[in-house]
A and B are shown apart, each in its own frame.
Chain A
Amino acid sequence: MATPTLDSPVKQIQIEGLVVLKMIKHYQEEGQGSEVVQGVLLGLVVEDRLEITNCFPFPQHTEDDADFDEVQYQMEMMRSLRHVNIDHLHVGWYQSTYYGSFVSRALLDSQFSYQHAIEESVVLIYDPIKTAQGSLSLKAYRLTPKLMEICKEKDFSAEGLKKAMIGFEHMFEEVPIVIKNSHLINVLMWELEEKCTVADKHELLNLSSSNHLEKSLQLLMDRVDDMSQDIVKYNTYSRNLSKQQQQKHQYIQRRQQENAQRQTRGETPLPEEDVSKMFKPPQPPPRMDTLLIAGQINNYCQNVKEFTSQNLGKLFMAEALQGHNS
């Protein structure tokens, strides 16, 4: 393993075509119904490149499989793969996503435990719906070192986040991907092209967009609702806090007044009570969820913008075609 460096130790991901095909197949067969499918990536690290050479899927979590031991499944799989000379080094995991909604607590936790154990691990997000629209959508993400620090300390309060100056843009960093095929596989590709005719579906040039936009915007709206609820919570918290400060202030003043009065009357002053125990400060709301929601919203917006820019291009092409006709 490469020794940890300040900058990300992984500058590029190199994936074999086989891994891509396996991920596509896994989602296609087992992932219908907006459930995420997950699996493990195997490969090795070469200088500053992470090479992913194979992968295997993880079975779904079902309720009637209560005694299913995930770790055991993984161990057995890796042991068997080692027998047939497949790289058995665990370098990350992959997950499918529904319209781009993958920024969640679960993903953060999983990726953190992976990156903690293995410095160079990545999570590959495969978007099957976008792929079905015409071009493979595969992205590789890692947690930024700053976020790693925070997760290690488990300090998710507002002060902790402010100290590290993390914005939602600095949570994940994307690593560029290249696809590599060995020469034998290239020969295979030539043969396949010969046997199969040209792809007769040009999904990429499809003009219909409203369905996809609707769903994306729906998800975006849900998230924005979550966000606004969060903001309301934060507002009530800060209002409570300031109200409490006021109350504390008043109490102390009253105390002092009373003490002054007692002194004039010659009685012993009342003892100074511990003010902080009387007025318990309200709990500050956790900031981590807000950060995640903000990151998710950002992701949705990016996706929507990409989609609209593509569609605008297509619309102008259609216009040119019509203009030519008339």
Chain B
Amino acid sequence: CLYLSHADKMSVYGPVVKIHPVVLASIGDSYERRNEGASRVIGTLLGTIDKHSVEVTNCFSVPHNESEDEVAVDMEFAKNMYDLHKRVSPSEVIVGWYATGFEITEHSVLIHEYYSREATNPIHLTMDTALQSGKMNIRAYVSAQMGVPGKTVGVMFTPLSVKYKYYDTERIGVDLLQRTRDAPNTTNGLTSDLCQVGGAAGRVQDMLATVLTYIEDVLSGKQMADNSVGRYLMDLVNKVPKITAEDFETMLNSNINDLLMVTYLSNLTQAQIALNEKIVVL
């Protein structure tokens, strides 16, 4: 059997693989918890299959043993776990399997065959958790028959393009997790109301600063002006709505009044229930 190593941007044939961040975090976590002596972990990928894409939304690790000449996978366990997962999300099916590590080995072919029995065209995902090449190299493959029919037949793993898909809330969760990168001791607390708005405003400010430096560079001739960027800038400036000052005043004031009234009412309610409690307990 052969495997194909390639550059990331090669155009590929086959479904697009969309991965959710929870899957990658799960794989990383199972790698960290692997048994002593195991060099890699494998597991099942769950998700949904579309006409042109496969969306991977969940995964679980499967215990396995690997030695020089043989590999043993706990299939009973895999089936069991899949049943349990199906109870919670009945729409998820087995779409493939994952393995950590950089290369596709002979054992991978055997495991892939097993998964071909479970799913119609299983995806094989590799993630280089040992960072052998300095990056994590998340790749996906599909297997294809190759060779001379009738004579030596082999299996080839063709690469697929990998995209990342986020739900909106996932995006926000991931943003928060990104912030733990910079904190010492890798911890981060959850900020509270006004601080969040301040933080978001700060981020927009940073982005505006980057744009401003670019504009100044272009003006002073240090950089070539790019038309598409110019068009984006036009859109940006036009996005701030042009409202007459009086209209804006009235809008602003009525909104502020609404909010203040609601704040007053909720404070009132809180005082009321506190009083009620004191009276009842008398």
Indicate whether A and B interact: yes
Q: How large is the interface on B (under 10, 10 to 19, 20 to 34, 35 or more residues)?
A: 35 or more
Q: How far is the CB of B92 from chain A (nearest CB, A)?
A: 8
In whole angstroms, how far apart are the Cα atoms of A24 and B167 in the complex?
Answer: 9
In whole angstroms, how far apart are the Cα atoms of A68 and B84 in the complex?
Answer: 12
Chain B positions within 8 Å of A132 at CB level: 168-169, 172
A207-243 interface code vs B (CB 8 A; 1 in, 0 out):
0011001000100100010010001001000000000
Given contacts A204-B200, A287-B280, A294-B277, contact A188 B172 (CB under 8 A): no
A182 within 8 A of B: yes
Q: How large is the interface on A (under 10, 10 to 19, 20 to 34, 35 or more residues)?
A: 35 or more
B164 within 8 A of A: yes
In whole angstroms, how far apart are the Cα atoms of A168 and B58 in the complex?
Answer: 40
In whole angstroms, how far apart are the Cα atoms of A58 and B267 in the complex?
Answer: 37
A184 within 8 A of B: yes
Name B's A-contacting residues (CB within 8 A): 20-22, 24-26, 28-35, 57-58, 60-63, 74, 77, 80-81, 84, 87-89, 91, 129, 131, 135-136, 138, 164, 166-178, 180-181, 186-194, 196-198, 200-201, 203-204, 207, 240, 242-243, 245, 248, 252, 255-256, 258-260, 262-263, 266-267, 269-270, 273-274, 276-277, 280-281
Q: Select B28's contact among A22, A188, A301, beta carbons within 8 Å.
A: A188
Q: Are B35 and A85 interface neighbours, CB within 8 A?
A: yes
A249 within 8 A of B: no
Chain B positions within 8 Å of A193 at CB level: 178
In whole angstroms, how far apart are the Cα atoms of A326 and B168 in the complex?
Answer: 35
Other than the given A135-B191, A301-B270, 4 more pairs (CB < 8 A) read A80-B84, A180-B188, A298-B270, A311-B255
Q: Is the interface of B mostly helix, strand, loop or mixed?
A: helix
Question: Of A143-151, A195-203, A259-267, A274-282, which binds chain B?
Answer: A195-203
In whole angstroms, how far apart are the Cα atoms of A92 and B135 in the complex?
Answer: 36
Chain B positions within 8 Å of A179 at CB level: 176-177, 180, 187-190
Q: Could you list some 11 contacts between A and B, CB below 8 A?
A: A25-B22, A128-B169, A179-B187, A181-B177, A189-B178, A294-B277, A297-B270, A301-B266, A305-B267, A306-B193, A325-B240
